[in-house]
Amino acid sequence: MNKVVQMLLVLTSIGIISGGLLAVVSGWADPLIAANQKAATEAAIFRVKPEGKKYEQIKNAGFELYKVMNENDQNSGYALVYQGNGFSGKIRLIAGLSEDLNNISAIEVLDQVETPGLGTKIVEEPFTSQFLKLETSPKIDWVKGEKPDKPNEIQTITGATISSKAVVAILNDGISRLKKLRESGGLK
């Protein structure tokens, strides 16, 4: 009997102490973690919309979307966060768009698990810089092994065609949803 009491007592007190300790630590850490995430999102928004000075999230879009304002407080476009399937897992990216949604200002890949050294080139130059000033209508297209000659085309990476095509598909998906949202008046 005594033994059972001791067992319960020890386990319960270890549980209570560790729970209490964790509550204190997470009380300290949670605001910092939230601030880190916010700072990371903010930095990414301003990297894809360099002229932006302020932003606000469009809450009822159904996906992650930010309206970006320039220094005169005028709407200067949108930053769209969207994800889809890549070569070996999800690719999540952010794209800066002009106010009329017809031009991409820049893109940045936020999360990916592509093949190191091949698919991971979608994160780097020169692949990402192909999207600067890229036209989005009727949709973004890709060419393989040659220089793109239309204003809405990019060249896929050698050895990482599927990853490159995935980025294009994710962008097309996200932008078409955004365009539908605008038609239904959801961007006001």
Partner 1 sequence: MELFIIFISAAIVNNFVLAYFLGICPFVGVSNKLSSATSMGMATTFVMVITAIVSWLLYNLVLIPYNLAFLQIPSFILVIASLVQFVEMVIKKVSQPLYRALGIFLPLITTNCAILGLALFGSMREYSFLENVIFGLGAGAGFTLALVIMAGIREELDLADVPKPFQGAPITLIVAGILALAFMGFAGMI
Partner 2 sequence: MKKQVTLSKEFLKGVWDNNPVLKQLLGLCPTLAVTVSAINGLAMGLAATFVLVMASLLISTIRKIIPPQVRIASFIVIIATFVTIVDLVMKAKFPDLSKALGPFIPLIVVNCVILGRQEAFASKNNPGRAFLDAIGMGAGFTIALLVLGGIREIIGSRTFFGLQIMPDQFEPWLIMILPAGAFLTLGLLLGAVNVYADRKKRLEHESLVAHYKRVGREELIEELEVK
> Residue numbers of the site for partner 1 (CB under 8 A)?
18-19, 22-23, 25-26, 30, 85, 87-89, 113, 115, 162
Give the nearer residue to partner 1 in terms of CB position, either 69 or 162.
162
CB of 133 to partner 1, least distance (A): 30
| Torsional class of 159: left (φ above 0), alpha (ψ -120 to 50), beta (otherwise) | left
In three-state form (DSSP H/G/I as H, E/B as E, the rest C), the secondary structure along 91-125 is EEEEEEECCCCCEEEEEEEEECCCCCCCHHHHHCC
CB of 8 to partner 2, least distance (A): 9
The tokens for 67 are: 């309206």
CB of 45 to partner 1, least distance (A): 22
Burial class (CB within 10 angstroms; exposed 0-12, middle 13-18, buried 19+) of 8: exposed
Q: How far is CA 7 from CA 2, 18, 20, 101, in A?
A: 9, 17, 20, 65
Residue 36 contact, options partner 1, partner 2, none, Cβ 5-8 Å cut-off depending on partner type: partner 2
Question: Radius of gyration (Cα) for the chain, nearest Å?
Answer: 23
CB of 146 to partner 2, least distance (A): 25
Give the nearer residue to partner 1 in terms of CB position, either 26 or 57.
26
Pairing mode, if any, of strands 141-143 and 104-111? Answer: unpaired
* CB burial string 148-185: b at 16+ within 10 A, e below: eeeebbbbbbeebbbbbbbbbbbbbebbebbbebeeee
Give the nearer residue to partner 2 in terms of CB position, either 115 or 176.
115
What is the rounded CA–CA span in Å between residue 106 and residue 86?
A: 19
Residue 14 contact, options partner 1, partner 2, none, Cβ 5-8 Å cut-off depending on partner type: partner 2
CB of 36 to partner 2, least distance (A): 5
Give the nearer residue to partner 1 in terms of CB position, either 162 or 187.
162
Binding site for partner 2 (CB under 8 A): 3, 6-7, 10-11, 14-15, 18, 21-22, 25-26, 28-30, 32-33, 36-37, 40, 115-118
Residue 85 contact, options partner 1, partner 2, none, Cβ 5-8 Å cut-off depending on partner type: partner 1
Residue 129 contact, options partner 2, partner 1, none, Cβ 5-8 Å cut-off depending on partner type: none
